[in-house]
Amino acid sequence: MSTSITLTRPDDWHLHLRDGAVLQAVLPETARHFARAIVMPNLVPPVVTGAQAAAYRDRILAALPDGMAFEPLMTLYLTEDTDPDDVAAAHASGLVKAVKLYPAGATTNSASGVRDFDKVRGVLERMAEIGLTLCMHGEVTDHEIDIFDREAVFIDRVLDPLRRDVPGLRMVMEHITTSSAVDYVRAAERNLAATITTHHLVINRNNILVGGIRPHYYCLPVAKRESHRLALVDAATSGDARFFLGTDSAPHVDAAKETGCGCAGCFTATNTMSILAEVFDREGALDRLEGFTSLHGPDYYGLPRNGDTITLTKGDAVTYPDKIASGDGPVTVFDPGMALHWRVA
Ligand code: DOR
Ligand code: ZN
């Protein structure tokens, strides 16, 4: 039984850092273990233009504590007014690594997202030409579609037609939560990958609803039934390079979670690596952890793998804070509901 494992330093291919006091508080939690992260653009107002992404990148780097290294990989928020030339320039300069598609109304700060896909076709075709990745929040938002079905319906109604219309476009289906998504990605021969979060490998919908409503387990896409969680664990631990880590660590202060209409998001940056090692260890798949956290992502994005490593050791139960303090109030750290034994040395 191994008690120590060394991995190429991981990256997070889907992360929310926010801005201001919360950015200041949460950034070190990611930078402690991760070299880079694809930073989500759903601020208020959203990060739509190259100039806004450059300014946000500067604010992130300014919030980084002395002595810590971290490279934010910036994204642009796709709107129906997005200018293809601005996107191409932001990509050519090396600033922007992906464009994020939020169907309008799908989740936190998605009001500026896409309603009419014909209006973004020009941008998507340009992205295909220049090799820029589209990250997708893969849920439809139609009121008549049950929230637990929204991902599967997105595949049929949006993703599959889009892949046929713009076949050269490289896409990532973000934070997949269903066996339908796992199957769809496995069946795709090229230009499609998926990120899987830490929390969706651990919780199912019972964790949110049984014995009382637990707002810190509420995220979007919402966790599904246990058979889907098992399909995600199978995909993540399979070694298939089309699946890689995007934590979707999404901090909200407790006051915004523990209220009559709480925000979606699980904050997992603090204990993600310990949780993932526990999950992979239980599956007898520790030898595949590095692929999931550190290799498949850069390979798909066409970026170099990190040159340094981290080491995890197995021992007594790991302790971590329940909450991270921020200038706007506390942010609760995700509780995986199990003892963790792997710590980053
Ligand atoms: O749970 C989520 N939180 N899902 C998302 O898609 C957005 C994120 C956020 O920004 O809080
Ligand atoms: Zn997200």
Question: Quick one: pLDDT at residue 1?
Answer: 59
| pLDDT score of 173 more than 90 | yes
Active site annotation includes 66: no
Pairing of strands 192-196, 243-245: parallel
> Could you tell me if 323 and 25 are in contact, meaning their C-beta atoms sit under 8 angstroms apart?
no
The structure's pTM equals 0.97
- The closest residue, in CA terms, to atom 10 on ligand 1 is 108
Contacts of 42 (CB under 8 A, 6+ apart): 16, 77, 100, 102, 107, 108, 109, 110
Phi, psi angles (nearest 5°) of residue 99: -120, 140
> Could you tell me if 262 and 217 are in contact, meaning their C-beta atoms sit under 8 angstroms apart?
no
Average pLDDT over residues 105-124: 86
From the CB of 137, is ligand 1 less than 6 Å away?
yes
| pLDDT score of 145 more than 80 | yes
From the CB of 42, is ligand 1 less than 6 Å away?
yes
- pLDDT, one tens digit per residue, over 212-268 is 999 999 999 999 999 999 999 999 999 999 999 999 999 999 999 999 999 999 999
Domain boundaries in the chain? 4-344
Looking up tokens 């952890």, which residue turns up? 289
From the CB of 264, is ligand 1 less than 6 Å away?
yes
Report the chain's mean pLDDT, rounded to a whole number.
Answer: 97
Amino acid residing at 100: K
- pLDDT, one tens digit per residue, over 78-112 is 999 999 999 999 999 999 999 999 998 777 777 78
- pLDDT, one tens digit per residue, over 60-79 is 999 999 999 999 999 999 99
Question: Quick one: pLDDT at residue 122?
Answer: 96
Q: What kind of architecture, by CATH, is found in domain 4-344?
A: Alpha-Beta Barrel (3.20)
Cβ count within 10 A of residue 225? 13
Q: Which ligand is nearest to the CA of 43?
A: 1
Tokens of 221: 């896409």
Closest CA to 302 of 121, 175, 130, 61: 130
- pLDDT, one tens digit per residue, over 219-229 is 999 999 999 99
